[in-house]
């Protein structure tokens, strides 16, 4: 069996989406869509007219920056107003349940009529569905619990009307409330700002009082700790007899440094004296000339003075010696004077040596004394290091306690002074005013949106319906989905016409379009059989009520205008051709000939309409399939071909019985009638497959009862 697909590969350059087809679909449903949109708009207008008007009042609040601190260690309020998070936090506080509950209680809104509104239909439906889906709840016995739940529901309904909208890149925030009562909307919008300001002041006052109390308790502890540390420091100082001028060890350090310097000087002097004595001991004390050669002696001032006197006397002696003789009194006096100054020089040197010896002894004794004193001072200084460490530790403890006490004491005084300062952290820039116009419902917008939405929804539904509608709708579907030749179409007539009128529509002057469509089908069949004339044409369909009999009759009328035509009713199950021409039920026909109970002439009715002969079905047999399967049909058709140019056979639907498949091999052409917008594509494909299996020569498809808005605009140019 051949398989047919309703999908056709895209040709080169063909669009994936046929826009003209989409608009065509919408055009077919335009009146339905428009009626639906208008009806929905009218319904929306009626509903909007009965909706309760809602008023909105808005107050504008400016949130100030605040940076209050009780101590320098940490901030009491925990916020940094320079950060964006501070303002975001304030906005969330404005949205909090505590602010809403405070306003709800202050304005006594528990029994306000605006909050006791009638439930809407949607709320009723929602409550009803919820009651059906959820198990029934037992009413709370506790009255307090019931009252709390009722209060919570009312508060939730009240909170749903509050709107907090910060103004971008500013410190402003809009406080809005929506209600059916405009005065309530105004009062609540202002009350929200007042409640926020009051709550923040209460919070700051409570925190300040708590901080002041905490600071007072801490100051007592710090004062006691400071006094204890000072007492320990004084006791330690008295115990060790410490004098802190520039530090506990400062005096001892300077003393030790001084002793060290004196000790160094004493050692130097002792070494110098001992070295001189060691040098002097190398000479005889009577050897004055040898001692005079020593630089340490010659450099002494007293020796230098005596030597000058000696040199002066010697110079005088030398001068007198040149003038006088040795016995001269002047020479004798000069010699005596020279002896005296030499003795004086010798005595001076001896005294110098004795003084140096005494100096060496004195330096040795002083060095020994300094060494002993340095040792004692050094020992005392070493023991004083640990004392100073303990002293410094106690002193640091006193300083730390003093610093903490001063800081806490200063903060406490500042907190006490500024504790009653009630500067608000927010203020109104615009208070809410009484609204004069409701914000909703926007009746015009509701009606407009409903109309536009319904138009779009109707168009989408039409497109979806067309997308999922797999029936044959026009001749293009015949060629694309069935891969068959579209012989033509017959327009859909008025529903009020009866069967007789539809059968004779070809001759109805009011249905010129219908008769022209039948002639087009006749022409299409004639053109397709130029090389081989078609004498026997079988007309069938996939299922009943597709109009195959009407097509057969009117096509016979069309051929009768040119040729001799015989119309045979081969639907031996439910024949209808005879009744269409008002033939009696006992009229012999095809079944009688095949069963050989009547002659051919007895079974043919001459000129029932405009030269068309009719062979009705005759007496309905018990075994119509056996009659059609025999050789009698072939013999009958052979005989009839000699009498008529066209033989049109109206057969039963293919999907109902197999009779058309038995007739198909004897026909020169098989025409399949498909009812537009009624017969599904898979069903027609299955019918075509069965006909091909029966070796039928299918020439094409006639689309019956097609709406003219789906037809090609051919007749518009001819005024038919």
- What integer pLDDT is reported at residue 323 of this predicted model? 75
Span 532-575, pLDDT tens digits: 788 999 999 999 989 899 999 999 999 998 889 999 999 998 99
User: In 281-328, where does DSSP find H-type helix?
Assistant: 288-292, 295-298, 301-323
Checking if the pLDDT of 24 tops 80, the result is no
- What integer pLDDT is reported at residue 10 of this predicted model? 45
Instruction: Characterise 247 by phi-psi region: left (phi > 0), alpha (psi -120 to 50), beta (else).
Output: left
Confidence of residue 121 (pLDDT cuts 50, 70, 90): low
- Please list, in sequence order, all residues whose beta carbon lies within 8 angstroms of the beta carbon of residue 171, skipping any fewer than 6 positions away: 62, 63, 64, 65, 87
- Please list, in sequence order, all residues whose beta carbon lies within 8 angstroms of the beta carbon of residue 471, skipping any fewer than 6 positions away: 676, 677, 678, 679, 680, 681
Checking if the pLDDT of 9 tops 50, the result is no
Confidence of residue 713 (pLDDT cuts 50, 70, 90): very low
- What integer pLDDT is reported at residue 707 of this predicted model? 79
- Mean pLDDT score of the chain: 78
What is the dihedral angle through the alpha carbons of 150, 153, 155, 161, rounded to the nearest 10 degrees? -150
302 within 8 A of 352, measured Cβ to Cβ: yes
Checking if the pLDDT of 317 tops 60, the result is yes
Checking if the pLDDT of 235 tops 70, the result is yes
Tokens of 19: 């826009």
Checking if the pLDDT of 245 tops 50, the result is no
Checking if the pLDDT of 288 tops 60, the result is no
- Cross-strand partners of 60: 174, 430
- What integer pLDDT is reported at residue 714 of this predicted model? 41
Span 452-502, pLDDT tens digits: 999 999 888 888 877 777 888 888 888 888 888 989 999 887 665 677 777
- What integer pLDDT is reported at residue 623 of this predicted model? 86
Please give, one letter per residue, the 3-state secondary structure of 313-373. Answer: HHHHHHHHHHHCCCCCHHHHHHHHHHHHHHHHHHHHHHHHHHHHHHHHHHHHHHHHHHHHH
Maximum average pLDDT range among 86-95, 296-305, 331-340, 403-412: 86-95
10 Å CB burial of residue 692 (0-12, 13-18, 19+) is: middle
Span 53-67, pLDDT tens digits: 888 888 888 887 654
292 against 474, higher pLDDT: 474
Give dist(CA 334, CA 321) in Å, integer: 10
Checking if the pLDDT of 586 tops 80, the result is yes
Backbone angles phi, psi at 641, to 5 degrees: -60, -25
370 within 8 A of 262, measured Cβ to Cβ: yes
Taking residues 692-700, report their average pLDDT. 92
Taking residues 681-703, report their average pLDDT. 92
What percent of the chain is modeled with pLDDT above 70?
A: 76
Q: Give the least confident one: 82-96, 230-244, 510-524, 639-653.
A: 230-244
Of 118, 117, 115, the closest CA to residue 187 belongs to 115
Confidence of residue 115 (pLDDT cuts 50, 70, 90): confident
Checking if the pLDDT of 229 tops 70, the result is yes
Q: Give the least confident one: 149-158, 638-647, 665-674.
A: 149-158
Taking residues 338-359, report their average pLDDT. 73
- What integer pLDDT is reported at residue 68 of this predicted model? 45
Of 388, 386, 375, the closest CA to residue 249 belongs to 388
- Cross-strand partners of 163: 176
560 within 8 A of 611, measured Cβ to Cβ: yes
Q: Model-level pTM?
A: 0.51
Span 402-443, pLDDT tens digits: 888 787 777 766 666 555 555 667 888 888 888 888 888 788
Of 495, 616, 600, the closest CA to residue 553 belongs to 616
Taking residues 32-46, report their average pLDDT. 89
Give dist(CA 303, CA 350) in Å, integer: 10
Give dist(CA 56, CA 437) in Å, integer: 9
Confidence of residue 179 (pLDDT cuts 50, 70, 90): confident
Checking if the pLDDT of 112 tops 60, the result is yes
Taking residues 580-604, report their average pLDDT. 90
């Amino acid at each position: 069996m051949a398989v047919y697909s309703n999908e056709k590969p895209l040709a080169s350059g063909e669009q994936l989406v046929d826009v003209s087809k989409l608009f065509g679909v919408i055009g077919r449903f335009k009146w339905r869509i428009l009626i639906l949109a208008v009806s929905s708009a009218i319904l929306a207008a009626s509903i909007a007219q009965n909706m309760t008007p809602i008023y909105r009042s808005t107050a504008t609040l400016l949130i100030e920056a605040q940076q209050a601190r009780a101590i320098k260690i940490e901030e009491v309020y925990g916020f940094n107003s320079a950060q964006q998070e501070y303002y975001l936090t304030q906005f969330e506080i404005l949205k909090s349940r505590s602010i809403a509950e405070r306003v709800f209680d202050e304005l006594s809104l528990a029994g306000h009529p605006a909050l006791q509104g009638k439930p809407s239909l949607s709320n009723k439906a929602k409550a009803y569905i919820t009651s059906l889906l959820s198990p029934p709840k037992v009413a709370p016995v506790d009255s307090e619990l019931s009252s709390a739940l009722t209060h919570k529901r009312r508060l939730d309904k009240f909170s749903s009307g509050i709107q907090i909208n910060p103004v971008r890149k500013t410190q402003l925030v809009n406080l809005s409330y929506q209600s059916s009562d405009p005065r309530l909307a105004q009062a609540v919008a202002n009350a929200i700002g007042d409640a926020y300001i009051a709550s923040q002041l209460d919070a700051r006052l409570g925190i300040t009082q708590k901080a002041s109390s905490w600071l007072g308790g801490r100051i007592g502890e710090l004062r006691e700790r400071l006094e204890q540390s000072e007492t320990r420091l004084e006791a330690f100082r008295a115990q060790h007899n410490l004098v802190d001028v520039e530090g506990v060890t400062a005096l001892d350090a300077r003393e030790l440094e001084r002793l060290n310097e004196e000790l160094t000087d004493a050692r130097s002097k002792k070494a110098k004296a001992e070295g001189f004595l060691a040098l002097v001991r190398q000479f005889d004390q009577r050897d004055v000339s040898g001692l005079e050669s020593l630089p340490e002696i010659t450099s002494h001032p007293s020796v230098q003075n005596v030597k000058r006197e000696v040199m002066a006397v010697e110079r005088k002696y030398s001068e007198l010696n040149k003038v006088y003789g040795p016995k001269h009194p002047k020479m004798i006096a000069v010699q005596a004077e020279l002896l005296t100054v030499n003795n004086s020089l010798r005595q001076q040197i001896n005294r110098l040596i004795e003084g140096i010896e005494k100096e060496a002894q004195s330096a040795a004794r002083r060095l020994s004394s300094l060494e002993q004193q340095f040792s004692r001072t050094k020992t005392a200084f070493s023991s004083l290091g640990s004392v100073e460490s303990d002293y410094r530790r106690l002193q640091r403890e006193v300083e730390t306690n003093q610093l903490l006490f001063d800081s806490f004491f200063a903060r406490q005084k500042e907190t006490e002074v500024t504790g009653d300062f009630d500067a608000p952290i927010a203020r109104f820039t615009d208070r809410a005013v009484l609204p004069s116009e409701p914000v909703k419902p926007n009746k015009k917008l509701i009606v407009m949106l409903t109309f536009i939405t319904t138009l779009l929804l109707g168009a989408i539904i039409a497109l979806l319906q067309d997308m999922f509608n797999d029936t044959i709708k026009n001749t293009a579907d015949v060629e694309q989905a069935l891969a068959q030749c579209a012989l033509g179409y017959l327009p859909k007539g008025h529903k009020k016409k009866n069967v007789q009128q539809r059968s004779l529509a070809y001759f109805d002057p009011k249905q010129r379009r219908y008769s022209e469509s039948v002639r087009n089908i006749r022409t299409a069949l004639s053109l397709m059989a130029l090389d081989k004339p078609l004498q026997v044409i079988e007309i069938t369909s996939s299922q009943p009520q597709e109009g195959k009999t009407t097509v057969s009759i009117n096509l016979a009328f069309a051929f009768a205008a040119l040729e001799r035509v015989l119309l045979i009713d081969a639907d031996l199950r439910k024949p209808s051709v005879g009744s269409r021409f008002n033939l009696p039920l006992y009229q012999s026909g095809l079944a009688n000939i095949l069963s050989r109970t009547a002659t051919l002439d007895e079974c043919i009715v001459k000129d029932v309409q405009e030269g068309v002969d009719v062979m009705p079905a005759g007496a309905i047999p018990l075994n119509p399939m056996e009659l059609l399967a025999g050789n009698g049909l072939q013999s009958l058709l052979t005989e009839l071909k000699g009498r008529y140019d066209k033989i049109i056979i109206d057969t039963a639907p293919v999907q109902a019985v197999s009779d058309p498949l038995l007739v198909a091999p004897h026909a020169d052409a098989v025409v399949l009638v498909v009812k537009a917008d009624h017969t599904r594509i898979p069903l027609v494909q299955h019918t075509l497959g069965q006909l091909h299996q029966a070796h039928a020569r299918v020439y094409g498809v006639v689309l019956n009862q097609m709406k003219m808005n789906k037809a090609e605009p051919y007749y518009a140019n001819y005024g038919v």
